Structure 1
């Protein structure tokens, strides 16, 4: 079986979950490797010298680890899976695979930037940089495709004995042996159950053993940027808020060779109707995008068709509105990852949009049912994990606040290149 390794950047509770699933290795120190001209460290220092980055000693220690990993993987070749009789009989030759790097830290400390720096400089094929939401969509599609491939005449009762996770793990392993995994955030219980099985299977295949590093210098670099000269985040309590958003819409569509009209996107056989669009500009409401049963695949499709999106009437949210808050988190994550320009009108500033609030009896009952499904006891350690307490959503929203702030800057606003209409 091919050996793999991975770079992950999870958040809080998922760190403990993945450490169990991935059997994380110890964090012993390695001998440092001098950087070459195209190494992550040399590129990092070049950007510091050019004033593109602030020199951060904390970040430099992580970049040094990425340099070591870059040296280890550039000449590494995964072993070929045995397929002949004698190969299977005697087994494959053991080849020591490099350890991956498992990064974690507070929002805005540079995890994504450093991971992209490593991915871009790593001179190998078989590498993939993927966001969590895209990865989960791909996993669900692979599971669906595997189920569709089963013979039609098979007894339905016997289907329960066929497990899609091992073949899905095989298919991932056959395509990618270096996976740069961004924004590992699990707030959905179904995804958590799938991931536990999937990463356990990949771990059995010796796919991932990771060195753990904390990147937490205490600085949120997104918050150090200045907002745009023109306002693109509007407070609903202020006078003429709707009129001001209308003006932004008119400015955005001024260069579009189109008229205002509705648009329908076909997504996996269903229609997503968007009432107000013009060229590559979408004008929508929070209720239409986040109070409806939409998900990452919908926001990804919107990102393909629109460079700028207006989201109006974003309300304050508590754990009572956890579903809407999750969708808004995914929406911002997806738009941010695809450099979509976002204009908002909201009831509160970004850091006041989501609070814990009070947990209702109904929500407590739902948590207990989920614990029963997972075989957890109410007084166990796992019953206090963030997926039940709401801590994961609260932490995820901290990232959303940070990203909303960066998305208001000129640097972000100008980062998305104009794309031709799909």
Structure 2
């Protein structure tokens, strides 16, 4: 990223004459060097930001330090969770699984000491689950650790499976023999990271659901310790999903290796955060949204070493073209992002290519626009987890963006899909959330909460810290 701090003083003065005072405030969010005062708000993904010169802290000490400094409010529910995380932190002090060897790969699982139980932390949106997990993660000083969004992790697993199967097929010189690709993948993952912290543990994809028991059985047998956050209790994972009966055994595996802890204070701290004084979410009926979006795009382009032009991203062998980009800024539309058949891997690539994404013309979403709604939920989840900045124009305010009414269970697409899957009315799979829309209704609360936080000045400042 070309930082404004590298631009000459002369150019800065010219820009200040061109853009009004509200735009300059956004400019300060963009470049901390122009900010007149340091924010004291919490950095969700780097809880040790203000304590990097201190001795190593444990989770309880770090939480108390942030409460004392005023970065966090005292919350008895969060303190109870930290007590549980503290126990895991203590148990990890003298634990490390044995590394994989050729012998163990050929003749059996590794002989490791009993691994500590992890934690599966669930609760309503915005209660601080991710913040507490990141606080715990920052306190763990072992080198072989990983913090990852669960959806990104599973994308990586499927990529590994695909690549390993290609290697096996190329090496076959006789009749193919049965080979379980999950075990070597789990071995490789555990050799890289034996403490894995999963954010947003959720299962909506049947391809994920069908391999989770085997994958996590192998990971746990390799000594991996798991910390996870989720909006759902483990018993409700993949609720009403296709072929859920094949998924249910995974829940026991998860519970055997993770203590289930609830965080539900009834407070959504994201919606409590003050929205920045600079508007980056425009309701089309209340303002000239396109003109405001144009002005912000022009300002952002002035800080990029590029021209305005189309850009094509190559994603898993497919070319995905966006019409209007400039450096690491993209000016796009809801239709371009969510009406095309794009998925999580596309949005992940998008989040790596751009630091600011302008999304125009977001409509009121409903189950009648189910595919588009699913993509929008996935898009916001991915951008939020990667701290990508967004500027949005929409038909309604954030809290009115989704209507749960309007579901048509007799939709032709649903009947065709049921026929293709040989699902009959009244069967277990006929009530799957792929047809009822239950998952979208449940997930959109999280989307609204995240969109609210993404409008704050503090969120905008986090991109530089994350990168």
Give the alignment's Cα RMSD to 1 decimal. 3.0
Shift of 1:238: 3.3
Ranked by relative contact order (alpha carbons within 8 Å, sequence separation 6 or more), the top structure is: 1
Secondary structure of the 1:344 match is strand
Q: Corresponding residue for 1:172?
A: 189
* 1:354-393 matches, cutoff 5 A: 354-356=402-404, 357-361=406-410, 362=412, 364-365=414-415, 368=418, 378-380=426-428, 384=431, 386=433, 388-393=435-440
Q: Match for 2:116 among 95, 98, 107? A: 98
| Whole-angstrom CA distance in 2 between matches of 1:266 and 1:238 | 38
Pick closer, same or farther for the CA change 1:369–1:174 going to 2, 3 Å: farther
Answering whether residue 361 of structure 2 is matched by residue 303 of structure 1, we say no
For residues 175-229 of structure 1, the C-alpha deviation after alignment (integer angstroms, 9 at most, x for no partner) is: 2211101112222233322334433554566756011100111100000011111
Secondary structure of the 1:47 match is helix
Answering whether residue 100 of structure 2 is matched by residue 52 of structure 1, we say no
Q: Corresponding residue for 1:147?
A: 165
Answering whether residue 232 of structure 2 is matched by residue 192 of structure 1, we say no
| Whole-angstrom CA distance in 1 between matches of 2:466 and 2:78 | 33
Give structure 2 stretches of 5+ with no counterpart.
1-54, 225-253
Q: Corresponding residue for 2:275?
A: 227
Q: Corresponding residue for 1:39?
A: 58
| Whole-angstrom CA distance in 2 between matches of 1:384 and 1:316 | 26
Q: How many residues align?
A: 379
Secondary structure of the 2:200 match is strand
Shift of 1:322: 2.0
Pick closer, same or farther for the CA change 1:105–1:268 going to 2, 3 Å: same
| Whole-angstrom CA distance in 2 between matches of 1:388 and 1:296 | 20
Answering whether residue 329 of structure 2 is matched by residue 278 of structure 1, we say no
Shift of 1:137: 1.7
Deviates more, 1:318-327 or 1:397-406: 318-327
* 1:13-412 matches, cutoff 5 A: 38-81=57-100, 84=103, 95-152=113-170, 154=172, 158=176, 161-202=178-219, 209-356=257-404, 357-361=406-410, 362=412, 364-365=414-415, 368=418, 378-380=426-428, 384=431, 386=433, 388-412=435-459
For residues 310-366 of structure 1, the C-alpha deviation after alignment (integer angstroms, 9 at most, x for no partner) is: 000111222232221121112111111111110011122222222332133235536
Give structure 1 stretches of 5+ with no counterpart.
1-35
Q: TM-score, normalised by structure 2?
A: 0.73
Shift of 1:398: 0.8
Shift of 1:239: 4.7
